[in-house]
Amino acid sequence: MSITGATTHSRLIGYCLLIFGFTGAHRFYYGKTTTGIIWFFTLGLFGVGWIIDIFLLPRIARQADEKFSHGDYNYSVTWLLHAYSGIFGAHRFYLGKWWTGLLYLCTGGLAGIGVIYDFCTLNERVSELNATRKPAWWNTPKALETAPNNRTLEG
């Protein structure tokens, strides 16, 4: 769940992806994998669904904010890294998945198959990390200095 008032997915990026709405890019970005695949193979329901999504996008964005966990891993950064350098594994490095990042780097995103898989699962992966993991910098000396009552940030 998202924190009240906090958004997990950028509205601006959502509307920019809507320009390519016939590919379903905006639906993948907001975690609507099934309809993203349908939009991709039917060119946005033959253009009709694409036009309807202009009006539905605020609701789709709100649903994504409610469904996915807010946290230190930014969905927009992850998606931009995936879109522009997915075959090199940049999004996996960002999420702390070093081994699969190196594997993607050496194999071109497992010859593109892994990149396609990530289109379908990336939101869930980021949400899971936001809900369960703290970023690597969490217990650095600087973070510990700013912790209330000098307690560790473990709990």
How far is the C-alpha of 141 from the C-alpha of 150, rounded, in Å? 11
* Residue 2: pLDDT band with limits 50, 70, 90: very low
Instruction: Kindly tell me if the per-residue pLDDT of 82 is higher than 60.
Output: yes
DSSP state of 2: P
Task: Give the domain ranges of the chain.
Answer: 1-70, 71-155
Distances (CA, A) of 130 to 13, 55, 103: 20, 29, 23
CB 102 within 8 A of CB 92: no
Mean of all residue pLDDT scores within the chain: 87
CB 89 within 8 A of CB 109: yes
How many CB atoms are located within 10 Å of the residue 1 CB?
Answer: 12
Instruction: Quick: pLDDT tens for 61-75.
Output: 999 999 999 988 999
> What percentage of residues in the chain have a pLDDT greater than 90?
74
Q: Where are the beta strands (DSSP E) in 4-154?
A: none
pTM, two decimal places: 0.78
Task: Say what the pLDDT of residue 1 is.
Answer: 44
Instruction: Quick: pLDDT tens for 27-44.
Output: 999 999 999 999 999 999
Task: Say what the pLDDT of residue 4 is.
Answer: 52
How far is the C-alpha of 24 from the C-alpha of 17, rounded, in Å? 8
